Structures are given as C-alpha cells and as structure tokens.
Amino acid sequence: MNKKLLCTLLLVAAFLSVWAQKQNRMNTQDNSQFVEITDVVPDAILEIRYFSTYNFVGTRVDGYQAPVALMTRQAAQALKAVSDELIAKGYRLKIFDAYRPQMAVDHFVRWASDFADTAMKPYFYPNLDKKLLFPQQYIAKKSGHTRGSTIDLTLFDMRSGKEVDMGGTFDWFGPESHPDFCGNPDTGRYTGDNSKSPTGRSITPEQFANRMILRKAMMAHGFKPISSEWWHFTLRDEPFPNTYFTFPVKQLR
C-alpha cells in the first residue's frame, strides 16, 4: 500500500471516529433536528396508538404527551416523497407511531415483565404466551423508533374512505404480521403459504397485494423494511444511527 493511500485511509478513519463520538455525546433531550410529520406531509392521517388506550399495553404509554407524530427532518422529507407517489394512486398514509422516546420503550419492558397483565391479549397476542415476548423479540430494551427515523404506518383508501385491508391489525404479535406471510415480498408473488400461522389463518391475494403497495413505495424512497412487521420501516440513511433520544412526544411549537 502506498503512503498516499495509507494517509487517506487514516484520515477517513479519524473522521469516522470523531463522528461516532459526536453521535454518542449528543444531547438526547435535543429535539431540534425533528419535525412534526404533518408539517411536512400535511395529507398524513394520524392515529397515534400509544397516546390512546387502544394498544397492546392497554394504557397511554409513558412519554406520549400529545397525539402527534415526530421524525427527523431527513426521514420526514423521504416520507413526503412516499406520500406524493401514493396520493397520485388514490391513497393517503395513516400513521400509528413514529419517534418513540426511551421512556416509552422502558414502559413496554415493564409491561412485558408483568405476566399477570394480559388485559389486551385477546386483541393483539391471543395465540402467544406473554412470557415469550422477550425471547421472540417482540419487545426489546432498545427500539429503532427511538433514533427518530422509523415509522409504523398503513394506507388509507380515498375512494372508499376506509383504511386499506392489510389482512391484520397493527401490533399483532404473530407470524401473520410478517411481510412474507402467504407470499414472497421480494417478488411480490402471493403463495398462500400460511404454514407459520398457529391457527391456520390466511390472508387473501388482495390483502397481500395491499401490503406490497405500501412496501414498494416505502422502499422506493429510501426506507428499509423488517422481516417481522409489514407496517414498520426505517430510513436507510438515518441521521442518528447510534442515538436513542429521550425527549417526550409533544407538539414542537
């Protein structure tokens, strides 16, 4: 390796090291790099589940002080591109959750550790023993939402005036929520394979296709999916990949 190339590599390494240290030292109470999503995507519909009591916990979750959705500026701009594409096709985005403060994640962890509290089991995890929430990674001590560039959402059909039928509810703990349930998300092909469902439940070709409409639009504009939830996406080039913010969800102005 020549000296010039070695010097260049060392400079790049030094820059990345300084950048990483800066990320780790960030004030996690600083919301200055966040926006209210509806300021950037005014057509978005909000149903902030953790501000309400209709969620898997059954109470308002710690840290949700207002029914608003927050994201980093970069993620919100990418979401605007998604919205513009889908509006042209007759859809609007419906948002269940976006930025989630660490205190909310801590609330989830406490709830998951209380095996006696199963009030919402019939609605969100009827086929799952609550003791498996941690082992099967439905609940974790850290969440990508807390970094500010992850969102949970679905589609709203402007023609029918109804939420699009995705064949399952947001925050359903089970294989029926996986993007590959009954189909191949990479090819968009419906297979009908419901072998992972503990009750033999299926979704229809139309329901699978609806999931793919959302997935394709999100991925086309810089978001990446996960393998366990059809509604969950994170900006690929998220600006704060190592920072877990702690400020509450509230109006920014």
Which of helix, strand or coil describes residue 124?
helix
| CA–CA separation, 95 and 166 (whole Å) | 14
User: Would residue 229 show up in a list of annotated catalytic residues for this protein?
Assistant: yes
From 36, 47, 229, 238, the catalytic residue: 229
The answer to whether residue 36 scores a pLDDT higher than 70 is: yes
Give the pLDDT confidence of 91-132 residue by residue, as tens digits: 999 999 999 999 999 999 999 999 999 999 999 999 999 999
239 C-beta neighbours (distance < 10 Å), count: 15
Tell me which of 16-25, 53-62, 172-181, 221-230 is least confident.
16-25
Give the pLDDT confidence of 48-101 residue by residue, as tens digits: 999 999 999 999 999 999 999 999 999 999 999 999 999 999 999 999 999 999
Whether residue 104 contacts residue 63, with contact meaning beta carbons closer than 8 Å, is answered with: yes
Domains of the chain plus CATH, in order, are 3-235 (3.30.1380.10)
Predicted TM-score (pTM) of the model is: 0.89
Output the pLDDT for position 18.
43
181 C-beta neighbours (distance < 10 Å), count: 25
Output the pLDDT for position 177.
98
Amino acid at 52: S
